C-alpha cells in the first residue's frame, strides 16, 4: 500500500491517478470537508483525517509500505497555519512512519535559497528535510524547480492551469483569487507578462506531470534513498526565453513588466502582522526570483522519464497556443 499525504492537491492528485492507473494499491489521505470526489476511482482507498489530528495520521500509516508527502500549506486558510500542518503535523507524520517502519518516505520540498528562514513555506520545508535526515526512515527528498502549471499562470496566463493543476489557482483565498482574476488573461489578451524579479532569472521550469513522474520513479529505488535531488525540466530558461516562446506561439510580441525582488520583500514584511497568507504569497514571489537552474536530465534518463519542454507544455491541450484576444 502506498499512502499519499496531500492527495487532494494538484501534485497529490496527479500521483494518485498515475499509481491507480498502474494498478498500485494506493491510500489517499484526505480531509473530510475537502474536495475529494475526483479521487474516488478503482484501486484508491480514501483515508479520512488531517495532519493536525494525530490519531488519523496513525490510522492512515498502518499497513503502508511507502509514504509520499506532497502536503503543503502555502496559503493558510481558517484555523490552518504553517506551524500546525508543516510544523506539528509533519513532525507527527515522520515519527509515526518511523514507528510503523515505513519502507520509504518520499518528500516533495522546495528549492533552497539564502533567505529560507524569512519565509514560512521555505523554512518549514528545510525543517522537515532535517527531520527526515535525523530519522531512521529511508527517505527521498525532491526539490522541484518552478511548476509551469502554476508560474505561467501567475505571470499572466491562467489558461495553462488545467485539470489537477487548477487546484492551486482555484484555492478559496480572496487574495489569490483577486490576483488571478486581475492578471490571468494578461499574456493572451493584452500581450503583457508580470514577472517576479529580473527577466534574466533562470529556472529549469518543470511540468507538474513530470514532477509526479519523478516521485513515482523514485519508489523502491535504493539509489534514490537517503538523498536530496533537485529536479527540473529539460531546459534552463530565463523569463525572456519563456516570453519568446509565447511570442512565437501566439504570433505577437509579449511585453514584460518586472516587479523588483525588493518590492516583494517589503510587501512580505508589511503584510505579516495582518495576514500570514498574503505575506506568504509575497515571500514566495520574493524567493522564486532566485535562480533554480537544475539539470535533472541524467536522473530523468535513469528513471526512464521523457521530460516536457516549455514549448511542448504550452502547445498541449485545446487552445493551448491560441491568441484569445482575437
Name beta bridge partners: 37. Answer: none
> b or e along 185-214 (b: 16 or more beta carbons within 10 Å of the residue's beta carbon)?
bbbbeebbbbbbbbeebbbbbbbbbbbbbb
- Cell numbers that stand for 320 in this block: 493551448
Q: Note the CATH number of domain 2-315.
A: 3.40.50.720
Q: Confidence class of residue 319 from pLDDT cuts 50, 70 and 90?
A: very low
| Residue 130: how many other CB atoms lie within 10 Å | 10
Residue 210 has pLDDT above 60, yes or no: yes
Question: What is the per-residue pLDDT for 8?
Answer: 87
Strands 202-203 and 237-238, how do they pair? antiparallel
What percentage of the chain exceeds 90 in pLDDT? 53
User: pLDDT tens-digit profile of 254-293?
Assistant: 999 988 878 887 887 887 777 766 777 777 777 777 889 9
Angle at 197 between CA 191 and CA 200, to 5 degrees: 80
Average of per-residue pLDDT values in the chain = 85
Name beta bridge partners: 320. Answer: none
Reported pTM = 0.88
Question: What is the per-residue pLDDT for 325?
Answer: 43
**H or E segment and range at residue 142:** strand 139-144
User: pLDDT tens-digit profile of 153-177?
Assistant: 888 888 887 654 445 545 555 566 6
**H or E segment and range at residue 218:** helix 208-218
Region 21-35: what's the mean pLDDT?
A: 87
Distance CA 324, CA 326 (A): 5
- Cell numbers that stand for 116 in this block: 529560507
Question: Residue 42: which residues within 8 A CB-CB, separation 6 or more?
Answer: 20
Residue 323 has pLDDT above 60, yes or no: no
Amino acid at each position: 500500500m502506498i499512502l499519499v499525504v496531500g492527495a487532494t492537491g494538484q501534485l497529490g492528485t496527479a500521483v494518485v491517478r498515475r499509481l491507480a492507473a498502474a494498478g498500485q494499491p494506493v491510500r489517499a489521505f484526505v480531509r473530510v470537508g475537502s474536495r475529494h470526489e475526483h479521487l474516488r476511482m478503482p484501486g484508491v482507498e480514501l483515508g479520512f483525517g488531517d495532519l493536525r489530528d494525530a490519531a488519523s495520521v496513525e490510522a492512515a500509516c498502518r499497513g503502508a509500505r511507502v509514504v509520499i508527502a506532497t502536503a503543503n500549506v502555502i496559503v493558510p486558510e481558517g484555523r490552518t497555519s504553517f506551524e500546525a500542518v508543516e510544523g506539528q503535523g509533519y513532525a507527527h507524520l515522520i515519527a509515526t512512519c518511523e514507528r510503523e517502519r515505513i519502507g520509504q518516505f518520499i518528500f516533495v520540498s522546495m528549492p533552497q535559497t539564502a533567505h529560507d528562514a524569512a519565509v514560512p513555506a521555505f523554512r518549514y520545508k528545510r525543517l522537515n528535510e532535517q527531520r527526515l535526515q535525523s530519522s531512521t526512515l529511508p527517505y527521498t527528498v525532491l526539490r522541484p524547480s518552478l511548476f509551469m502549471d502554476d508560474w505561467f499562470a501567475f505571470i499572466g496566463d491562467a489558461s495553462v492551469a488545467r485539470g489537477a493543476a487548477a487546484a492551486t489557482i482555484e484555492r478559496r483565498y480572496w487574495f489569490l483569487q483577486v490576483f488571478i482574476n486581475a492578471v490571468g488573461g494578461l499574456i493572451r489578451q493584452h500581450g503583457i507578462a508580470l514577472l517576479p524579479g529580473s527577466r534574466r532569472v533562470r529556472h529549469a521550469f518543470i511540468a507538474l506531470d513530470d514532477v509526479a513522474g519523478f516521485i513515482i520513479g523514485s519508489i523502491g529505488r535504493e539509489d534514490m534513498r537517503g538523498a536530496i535531488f533537485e529536479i527540473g525540466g529539460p531546459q534552463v530558461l530565463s523569463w525572456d526565453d519563456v516570453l519568446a516562446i509565447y511570442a512565437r506561439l501566439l504570433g505577437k510580441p509579449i511585453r514584460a513588466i518586472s516587479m523588483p525582488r525588493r518590492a516583494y520583500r517589503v510587501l512580505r514584511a508589511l503584510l505579516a502582522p495582518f495576514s500570514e497568507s498574503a505575506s506568504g504569497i509575497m515571500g514566495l514571489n520574493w524567493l522564486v526570483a532566485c535562480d533554480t537552474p537544475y539539470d535533472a536530465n541524467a536522473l530523468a534518463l535513469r528513471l526512464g522519464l521523457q521530460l516536457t519542454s516549455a514549448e511542448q507544455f504550452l502547445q498541449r491541450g485545446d487552445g493551448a497556443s491560441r491568441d484569445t484576444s482575437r
